[in-house]
Amino acid sequence: MACMKPPQRLQSLIEEGLIDTVVRQLMSGKEAMVYVVRCGDETRCAKIYKEATQRSFRQAVDYTENRKVKNTRQARAMAKGTHFGRQAQEDAWQRAEVDALYRLAAVGVRVPKPHNFCDGVLLMELVADENGDAAPRLNDVVFAPEQARAHHATLLKEVVRMLCAGIVHGDLSEFNILLGADGPVIIDLPQAVDAAGNNHANRLLLRDVANLRNFFGRFAPELLQTEYGHEIWDLYQRGVLHTEVALTGRFEHQHGAVDVSGVLREIDDTRVEQAARLLRLRSGA
Ligand SMILES: Nc1ncnc2c1ncn2[C@@H]1O[C@H](COP(=O)(O)OP(=O)(O)OP(=O)(O)O)[C@@H](O)[C@H]1O
Ligand SMILES: [Mg+2]
């Protein structure tokens, strides 16, 4: 297999013997550069995180609220926005993706198997198609109605499994799911939130599930009538969600009652926007 001159950021991993050769660049997204690499006789994927400057929204308070930091010095620095504080925030953000990958892989959610996290580089399984090439995103694929229904059902089970493990993806969509040889694989988790400790978890879960519905609903329109998000959250909140639960896609909304959560949500949204603006101002973006 041909290879390229390795980028500087991968040099230390090569010296450590974690990577043998760099095959090619796969992607340069907003937040990371992704490379195909060889490690022994295995092909893997290396995600290099970019510096934090551009990352306004996904790092805003609704995602990072209640994230655990190692010590109070770190917490104070993060609050003040000092250089050390920004670095600490950056590390916490990157660690969140590795932590989520390990936790989800452990409970059987189909995510890339993590191998290592070193110097801001995440080494993980390369999700591949039948030919061994990097798998396409769902957004790059067209589905027959029955395929759309099957993948939608599979992914809802994955969402339930994640929630049972206490995690909401928070940015789940056709852009962050790859179609591997063995089915859909969920990627891109630095913004994953703790379902129990984050006040926005409900809203993020509903958005994740709505994204799945709207995408697969293009191929199987009857999915557009479903309300799996509300159903799943309701079961979770009542403490009766489990991985084998049989979902219906139907949900009885409480009519007549004042929509307190809707009002609170709007108040919250304003607060989140203000906080995001503040963060942007502070980082000079
Ligand atoms: N484990 C993997 N196997 C195969 N391809 C991958 C893997 N991880 C990432 N990719 C590819 O790299 C792209 C970017 O990865 P990811 O979404 O994690 O980073 P990102 O910087 O958040 O990107 P974006 O801003 O575009 O969402 C993915 O859309 C996918 O095409
Ligand atoms: Mg992505």
Three-state DSSP state, 14: helix
Does residue 34's CB lie within 6 angstroms of at least one atom of ligand 1?
A: yes
Tell me the Ramachandran region of residue 215: left when phi exceeds 0, alpha when psi lies from -120 to 50, beta otherwise.
Answer: alpha
Q: Separation of 256 CA from ligand 1 center, angstroms?
A: 44
As annotated, the active-site residues are: 171, 188
Distance (Å, rounded) from C-alpha 47 to C-alpha 93?
14
* Per-residue confidence (pLDDT) for residue 61, from 0 to 100: 58
Distance (Å, rounded) from C-alpha 99 to C-alpha 95?
6
Instruction: Encode pLDDT of 180-220 as tens digits.
Output: 999 999 999 999 999 999 999 999 999 999 999 999 999 99
* Per-residue confidence (pLDDT) for residue 36, from 0 to 100: 97
Mutating to test ligand 1, I would choose from 24, 34, 39, 56 the residue with most ligand atoms within 8 A of its C-beta, which is: 34
* Per-residue confidence (pLDDT) for residue 285, from 0 to 100: 45
Distance (Å, rounded) from C-alpha 29 to C-alpha 17?
26
Task: Please name which ligand lies nearest the alpha carbon of 48.
Answer: 1
* Per-residue confidence (pLDDT) for residue 29, from 0 to 100: 78
Nearest alpha carbon, ligand 1 atom 18: 188
Does residue 126's CB lie within 6 angstroms of at least one atom of ligand 1?
A: yes
| Long-range contact pairs involving 115-120 (C-beta distance under 8 Å, separation at least 24) | 115/39, 115/44, 116/13, 116/18, 118/12, 118/13, 118/16, 118/18, 119/9, 119/12, 119/13, 120/9, 120/48, 120/49, 120/94
CATH superfamily of 12-265: Transferase(Phosphotransferase) domain 1 (1.10.510.10)
| For the CA of 134, the nearest atom of ligand 1 | 4
* Per-residue confidence (pLDDT) for residue 1, from 0 to 100: 64
Which residues of the chain have a pLDDT value below 50?
Answer: 285
Domain ranges of the chain: 12-265
| For the CA of 50, the nearest atom of ligand 1 | 21
